[in-house]
Amino acid sequence: KAGRRSGPVRLGSARPGRPGLSVERRVSARSCAMPSWVIDRYGRNDVLRFTRDMVFPTIHFPNEVIIKVHAASLNPIDLSMRSGYGATALNMKRDPLKLKSMDTEFPLTLGRDVSGVVMECGLSVSYFKPGDEVWAAIPPWKQGTLSEFVVASGNEVSFKPKCLSHTEAASLPYVGLTAWSAVNQVGGLNQSNCSGKRVLILGASGGVGTFAVQLVKAWGAHVTAVCSHDASTLMKKLGADDVIDYKSGNLEEQLKTLPLFDFILDNVGGSTEKWALDLLKKWSGATYVTLVTPFLINMDKLGVADGMLQTGVTVGSKTVK
């Protein structure tokens, strides 16, 4: 069932560990194994396997912590990774010097979001201690959160807001950080330069889109949200100024009737990239940011060298436009 769920997944609970009591001693009775959802090959949902014998995570670097998972959630990237998306690039990140044998990613645990309790800290971790309630977004090249325990770097972890339950908290980090990265880190928008700008968000009713709508609206932007009709009420509640149903007609033609935009966030990709650039204001430094990068797909299809070359050509030509 976990493979089919789209929301937070309860993985059980436990009392916070006592400071000074090592994780190794606590789990010795279980032979350093833990329950986990894993895949042993890429494919559809039938590749998901529940096991109670997943190797218990260990701290390899002094800045790492081990988290007892109270709740985790699924994101679209988990479905994509289950099917093999990005395997070439992610395996390079896991083993850049090719020190290990092939297929070292298996058994692979999916899941990027976690909310739980710190159980053990590396020697250089000073912000957290065993027993702290935290949340985190785990990078896709690391073992994921659909397990009883997960290891994370200290800079990937933060204190869980006290007003949120573990289940609520587990639904937020990955999409929230993705939206922030796309809008602020890549797109360059912030509270001092966003006021009055026209922002278009394609796929606005998804996890990343709902965060992005609220973020740029709080900064004073005029927001046009593209979604399905059944999400239009939600978009209005989140502050969108204009809501367009992409099923109500030719989306490109509908958007062309509106004034041009200063910023476009594309959570959909595909055919939208062929015409979305024409909706930007000309010679104004307007920005188009897409979450659907060709980089991982090209490397999967063409290999490392050719994939990087093809990506450079694709991105370069669109940047010039």
Residues in the chain: 321
Q: Which of 145, 153, 200 is nearest to 174 (CA)?
A: 145
Contact between residue 171 and residue 111 where contact means Cβ atoms under 8 Å apart: no
Q: Supply the pTM of this predicted model.
A: 0.82
- Which residues are registered as beta bridge partners of 179? none
DSSP label of 147? B
Lowest mean pLDDT among 7-21, 196-210, 242-256, 275-289: 7-21
Instruction: Report residue 78 as tokens.
Output: 């988990």
The answer, yes or no, to whether residue 304 has pLDDT greater than 80, is no
Nearest to 277 by CA among 233, 309, 318, 231: 318
Per the model's pLDDT, the better-predicted residue between 1 and 193 turns out to be 193
> Given a cut of 50, is residue 26 above it in pLDDT?
no
Q: Which of 24-33, 76-85, 189-198 has the highest mean pLDDT?
A: 189-198
Read out DSSP for 237-298? HHT-SEEEETTSS-HHHHHHTSPPBSEEEESS-TTHHHHGGGGBPTTTT-EEEES--HHHHH
| Angstrom distances, CA of residue 134 to CA of 76, 114, 232 | 23, 8, 33
Task: Please state which of the ranges 45-59, 96-110, 119-133, 271-285 shows the lowest mean pLDDT.
Answer: 96-110
The domains found in the chain, sorted by start residue, are: 33-169 (3.90.180.10), 175-290 (3.40.50.720)
- The lowest-confidence range among 71-75, 248-252, 262-266, 315-319 is 315-319
